[in-house]
Amino acid sequence: MTLTRTPPSTTTESTPTRPPKQPGRSGPRRSESRWGLLLAAPAALHILVWTGIPVLAAFVLSFTDYDMIERPSFIGVSNYIELLGDTIFWKGILNNLIMAVIGIPISMLIALVLAVLLNRGLRGEGLFRTLVFLPHVTATVAVAMIWLWIYAPTGNGLANMALSVFGIGPLDWLTEADLALPAVIVVTIWQGIGLKMLIYLASLQGISQEMYEAAEIDGAGPVQKFFRITVPMLKPATFFVLVTSIIANFQVFDLVYNLTSGGPANSTTVVTYEIYQTAFQQFRMGLATAQSVVLLLILVVLTIISRKLVGGTDND
């Protein structure tokens, strides 16, 4: 008789399973985060002390009557109510908007064309780039002196000498109300092209040539490649140039101060010039800070509009 061994029971007891470990930062990554925060702390502290506190102080002073001699006295929203009826202040804002609407698109277009030409590796590219960028790094007072000579109302002015070739008499570029603001806009365009061109040129050099080669294989021409590849890929640079140009446009002061002093008849006055007049000519610091707060709000609104117009900063 043979004995058969029965196999042991195959039933196994269910063992509890641990829940999956939640992903978290490892030790080295936590250390990197701490070092990142530590290294960013000085810059954050600098912004808080030298930007945040002055902005907060200006906002508080905008509700006071302050002449830099006596202590500020709280007057509520009286400064803002006064600004609503200040026609010269709103004339300055209108002039800034006109300068932005006319000058910024023209300068951006010229800068983009120059950047595209330089990106093709033209002969003498370095010298040409330096000459175009030179007005941006030149002191604005020197720029104003040069253009005062160009706009000289006598026959010695370069602009009037050029017009005399076509039989046009000398014009008072900076003393006629209808000509003064366009003359200032021309100077702002000339002075701002260089920086915009360098930004566009750096962005163009970052675009992969494989995209152009693939488009050329598909039969795309130069115009199609420019509008289908170059322009979309330059969207972040365009947004940056547009925002910085708007801010620079509303911060223009020394150029207007040296060319026209806001005249004639406030035809070239700008916001910063009116803030200067209110603060350091009339010594009404409370009203001047209220004007600065309004300028800050305008810049925020224009930045949001600029982002909507450009369509964001993503490349897709």
pLDDT for position 238: 92
Are 258 and 139 in contact, with CB atoms under 8 Å apart?
Answer: no
pLDDT for position 315: 45
β-strand partners of 74: 64
Is it the case that residue 314 has pLDDT exceeding 80? no
| pLDDT tens digits, one per residue of 226-266 | 888 888 899 999 999 999 999 999 999 999 999 999 989 99
DSSP state of 171: -
Mean pLDDT lowest among 71-80, 218-227, 298-307: 218-227
Is it the case that residue 222 has pLDDT exceeding 90? no
Q: Residue 4 — φ and ψ, nearest 5°?
A: -105, 130
Under 8 Å CB-to-CB from 280, ≥6 apart: which residues?
A: none
Q: Would you state the structure tokens that stand for residue 312, as one six-digit string? A: 């964001």
Alpha helices by DSSP H, listed for the chain, are 27-47, 53-61, 78-84, 87-119, 125-137, 140-150, 158-164, 177-205, 209-217, 222-225, 231-233, 235-250, 254-259, 271-276, 285-310
Residue range 88-310, CATH number: 1.10.3720.10
User: pTM of the prediction?
Assistant: 0.82
Are 177 and 264 in contact, with CB atoms under 8 Å apart?
Answer: yes
What average pLDDT does this structure show over 13-24?
53
CA-angle at 102, arms to 99 and 106, nearest 5°: 120
Mean pLDDT lowest among 7-11, 80-84, 97-101, 154-158: 7-11
Are 144 and 219 in contact, with CB atoms under 8 Å apart?
Answer: no
| pLDDT tens digits, one per residue of 81-108 | 999 999 999 999 999 999 999 999 999 9
Binning pLDDT at 50, 70 and 90, where does residue 5 land? low
CA-angle at 35, arms to 34 and 38, nearest 5°: 90
Q: Which residue has the tokens 């910063």?
A: 272
